[in-house]
Chains A and B, each alone.
Chain A
Amino acid sequence: MDAQTLFREGVMAVREGKDLNQARQLLLQSLKLEPENDMAWLWISQTVSDPQKKLECVNRALKINPDNGKALDLRLKLTKALTTAATPQPAAPVPIFDFKFDDKPTDPPKAPYPAPAKPPPPADLVDEAGLREAPTIRTPLSPAEDREVKDLLEKADAYIKTGQAEEVENAIEQWVRILEIRVDHEFAIQNSVRYLARLGYMDDAKELIWRAIDAGTLLPSIFVTAVDIAQRMHDHSAAADMAKRLLPMPEVDDALLLKITDQMVKYGQAEQVVEVLAAAVTHRPKSQKLLIRLGELLDELGQKDKAMRYFDRAARIKGGTKEAKRADKALMQFTPIITDRERGNTWLAVREAAGFLVFYLLLGWQDAGMNLANMGIRWLGVLLSLLGGYFVITAVSSPQQQPLATWLGGTVPPPKPQKQLVDPYGNPIDSLSSGPLEDPTELTMLPQAIRWLFFILGAALLSFSFYIVFSTALRLLFNPVPPTYIPNIEDLLLEAVR
């Protein structure tokens, strides 16, 4: 029988209303032969009583033909009817599995199968066998169901082992039946989806995966497959969405996320990968690998300003690691970043002030005739230079030291506008600005008046210290004493000749 005949008979069966299951089978068979028949899905919607299932069918019809007026009307009605639907319950995590991207079927898991997780909302399957109530991940498998799953897996395995192409569909059928029992059965879903995709039934493959996800599965492998399917169907926003849903899962490690995002990049979706990775680093702020990958992508996209910040974050997490070195190497092409960690640190300011102390100590030491015992009052000058240096440093380069800035009534400064220089053709160019790039700050900064006060006080202290430590030299500068001995050039020449 051809598709149209099956369709007509299916419609007649629905109109007669005698055997809706039979009607559904006919319509599904017609769809198998003619997948683009949107009206078939609309008629199938009349064979089920559950509004949720009806809506699924209508959505399928609209996917094929978005302008189908009847479908649009029906969806509107169904959506209104479903507004009171219950919200899903959170589910417990499930054990981690090994994810594979290759096209070979995976080995069936050995019984007993993983215990079902505590799962959210019920969902149902649309498959070639028709729409029917399917046990969900909420429902524990009964011993009978467990046996049935085992039998179906063995059957599917036997079909696949024949190596004949026509038996693949039979194997898929077995796996799909398993999915009626356990909507997110990992082995069944992965193999059925893989073979459906290979046979070109991408919509069906997607449907199986989305069913499991909508049912509230927490198996990461299903989300990984969802990303893959969405990519193949060029539904990149769905792929990004699925990838984001993987992020909170504790079983998902950095390597898996990078594998997924690298695949997405291969499909040319770098911008969406940036979104995914940006979300990922909020979940895993200490992941150097993710931060570096995000930095690399942003760099490739020309967003160097953002890229360097992620590289910097990665490098700061832990020095000496392979990743930190990689981040550091990448950072070498950028201006370094100054963050609140440096701004707010009092010891770093004191360190700079210690430079003044050393300088003044050397001055005083020489002024005291290279004898530290003769320093006398100069020691006071040396100590004052530390204080003066600290005031100047605080005013000029470290006005956000904590808690000093807060104690003295400082406020968080507004973000500085980023100045971007452009060349005559409007292309951005790097400026010859001195100093590192300023990261947005959350620290308070000393009020301007206090900074000026500190600067004046510091400069005065440094001047006074200089006067004390270099007193002899200053006196001699204004009243030089001629050296008691300067050799006569004639004597020097004669000595050289001898």
Chain B
Amino acid sequence: MGAFFSFMFQILLILLLMSVVFPLPVSDTGTVRYKTLPIMTYVLITINSLVFLAWQAPHLIAATQAEQFGLFEPLIQSLQAYVNQIWTYGYRDVFLRSGESIGAFTTFTSMFMHSGFDHLIGNMVYLWAFGRRIEDACGPWRYLLFYLTAGMIANMGSELLNPANSDIPSIGASGAIAGIMGAYLILFPGARVNCLWILGSVLRLPIAAIRGKDLWNWTIPIPSFILLIYFAVENALPSFEVMQQGDDVGGVNTLAHLAGFLACLLVLLFVRKDLFNRFIAGRSL
């Protein structure tokens, strides 16, 4: 029980830290019109979480424990195992060109791997905030196909558009989720998204006091186009730098985010028929 509370506390702490300065989208205020149970979003969150918690995290936990007890050899072994996983099942250009590891299958394995707990939590929160409504617009199976397509485009974009001959593995669902976010911008630009934003909540305090409203609100609804255009610009600027100069250092793969985001246009192949017709006719979706 103690471990469970510790785990939940860690999640809350990560969410709070993520939302201190910048808004963190946590839910969608819009109407889910087809009333689709977001089963595929649940499934994707579950698979991503299981892959990390059951397969990757044990090595990291073992390394942390070894570090606490000052056991150098087990620490190295655990970290090496973790690195081996990433460098074997992450997305690497060399696997595709030279036929190593499991080849192009790494495009799928890399999509479900994460580098750490905060990486996983951040991605899954975004997936929940934006994925639910896109799944409603597409239906679960087409949504899955779109998610995988966006993830593949993100992976390929990060390799093809980077002029540096880097051999750094890409992992994470963020490319696919960027595609979902882009699709959200296309389909629901006017929707408001509830964001956890500590700074915003603090700045809101005097206004709430003057207007006689509840002083503290944990979430603030922000128009989706503001959030998503900010996200696109935030990733586009460093991406252009990478495309011009190349990058073989690693870190946040903004190029994958941008490529995934641009894959959003393909969502029109995956949305429901009637929704597509409404979109073309310029009607509300």
A interface residues with partner B (beta carbon < 8 Å): 315-316, 319-320, 324-325, 328-329, 331-339, 341-343, 345, 348, 351-352, 354-356, 358-359, 362-363, 365-367, 369-370, 397-398, 430-436, 470, 472-473, 475-477, 480-490, 492-493
B218 part of interface (Cβ distance < 8 Å): no
Stretch from B93-101, B197-205, B229-237 contacting the other chain:
B93-101
Stretch from B4-12, B76-84, B121-129, B239-247 contacting the other chain:
B76-84
Do the beta carbons of B35 and A332 come within 8 Å of each other? no
Partner of B283, one of A324, A358, A433, A482: A324
Give the chain A neighbours of B34 by CB distance below 8 A. 335-336, 434-436
- A489-B76 contact, Cβ under 8 Å, with A351-B269, A433-B35: yes
B149 part of interface (Cβ distance < 8 Å): yes
Greatest chain B CB density within 10 A among A356, A480, A483 is at A483
Partner of B274, one of A332, A337, A354: A337
Do the beta carbons of B156 and A476 come within 8 Å of each other? no
Do the beta carbons of B281 and A434 come within 8 Å of each other? no
- A486-B145 contact, Cβ under 8 Å, with A398-B273, A476-B103: no
Nearest 4 CB-CB pairs, A to B?
A: A328-B284, A476-B103, A319-B281, A355-B269
Q: Give the residues from 232 to 283 in chain B that come closer than 8 angstroms, CB to CB, to chain A.
A: 266, 268-270, 272-278, 281-283
Do the beta carbons of B87 and A367 come within 8 Å of each other? no
Instruction: Return B119 CB to nearest CB of chain A, in Å.
Output: 18
Do the beta carbons of A490 and B76 come within 8 Å of each other? yes
A367 to B105 alpha-carbon distance, docked (Å):
9
A–B complex contacts, Cβ < 8 Å, 6 sampled? A338-B273, A354-B269, A370-B156, A370-B159, A473-B105, A487-B87
Do the beta carbons of A473 and B103 come within 8 Å of each other? yes
Do the beta carbons of A355 and B274 come within 8 Å of each other? no
Which residue of chain B lies nearest to A365 when distances are taken between CB atoms in the complex? B156
A484 to B83 alpha-carbon distance, docked (Å):
14
Q: Give the residues from 14 to 69 in chain B that come closer than 8 angstroms, CB to CB, to chain A.
A: 31, 33-37
Which residue of chain A lies nearest to B90 when distances are taken between CB atoms in the complex? A483
Q: Give the residues from 111 to 161 in chain B that come closer than 8 angstroms, CB to CB, to chain A.
A: 139-140, 142, 145-146, 148-149, 152-153, 155-156, 159-160
- A366-B35 contact, Cβ under 8 Å, with A320-B282, A485-B167: no
B102 part of interface (Cβ distance < 8 Å): yes
Give the chain A neighbours of B80 by CB distance below 8 A. 488-489
- A355-B270 contact, Cβ under 8 Å, with A324-B283, A488-B80: yes
Greatest chain B CB density within 10 A among A325, A342, A475 is at A342
Partner of A369, one of B83, B92, B96: B96
Partner of A358, one of B103, B149, B159, B160: B149
Do the beta carbons of B273 and A370 come within 8 Å of each other? no
B217 part of interface (Cβ distance < 8 Å): no
Do the beta carbons of B152 and A366 come within 8 Å of each other? yes
A419 to B278 alpha-carbon distance, docked (Å):
26
- A342-B277 contact, Cβ under 8 Å, with A324-B283, A359-B148: yes
Give the chain B neighbours of A488 by CB distance below 8 A. 80
Partner of B107, one of A319, A366, A369, A490: A366
User: How many residues from B make CB contacts under 8 Å with A?
Assistant: 57
Which residue of chain B lies nearest to A338 when distances are taken between CB atoms in the complex? B274
Give the chain A neighbours of B222 by CB distance below 8 A. none
Do the beta carbons of A487 and B284 come within 8 Å of each other? no
Greatest chain B CB density within 10 A among A325, A336, A338 is at A336
- A431-B276 contact, Cβ under 8 Å, with A319-B283, A362-B152: no
Which residue of chain A lies nearest to B277 when distances are taken between CB atoms in the complex? A342
Partner of B105, one of A334, A343, A430, A476: A476
Partner of B104, one of A331, A341, A473: A473
A482 to B84 alpha-carbon distance, docked (Å):
10
A335 to B96 alpha-carbon distance, docked (Å):
45
Give the chain B neighbours of A319 by CB distance below 8 A. 281-283
Instruction: Return B134 CB to nearest CB of chain A, in Å.
Output: 14
Do the beta carbons of B99 and A472 come within 8 Å of each other? yes
B219 part of interface (Cβ distance < 8 Å): no
Give the chain B neighbours of A338 by CB distance below 8 A. 272-274
Do the beta carbons of B93 and A370 come within 8 Å of each other? yes
Give the chain A neighbours of B274 by CB distance below 8 A. 336-339, 342, 436
A240 to B130 alpha-carbon distance, docked (Å):
49
Instruction: Return B90 CB to nearest CB of chain A, in Å.
Output: 10
A123 to B276 alpha-carbon distance, docked (Å):
59
A302 to B94 alpha-carbon distance, docked (Å):
63
B166 part of interface (Cβ distance < 8 Å): no
Which residue of chain A lies nearest to B92 when distances are taken between CB atoms in the complex? A483
- Known interface pairs A315-B278, A434-B34, A483-B88; 8 further A-B residue pairs with C-beta atoms within 8 A, sorted by A's residue number: A336-B274, A362-B153, A366-B104, A481-B100, A483-B87, A483-B94, A483-B100, A487-B83
Which residue of chain A lies nearest to B35 when distances are taken between CB atoms in the complex? A432
Do the beta carbons of A486 and B83 come within 8 Å of each other? yes
Do the beta carbons of B275 and A348 come within 8 Å of each other? no
Do the beta carbons of A370 and B139 come within 8 Å of each other? no
A348 to B279 alpha-carbon distance, docked (Å):
13
A490 to B88 alpha-carbon distance, docked (Å):
18
Which residue of chain B lies nearest to A330 when distances are taken between CB atoms in the complex? B284
Instruction: Return B279 CB to nearest CB of chain A, in Å.
Output: 10
A398 to B278 alpha-carbon distance, docked (Å):
18
Which residue of chain A lies nearest to B80 when distances are taken between CB atoms in the complex? A489
Do the beta carbons of A367 and B104 come within 8 Å of each other? yes
Instruction: Return A373 CB to nearest CB of chain B, in Å.
Output: 13
Do the beta carbons of A358 and B100 come within 8 Å of each other? no
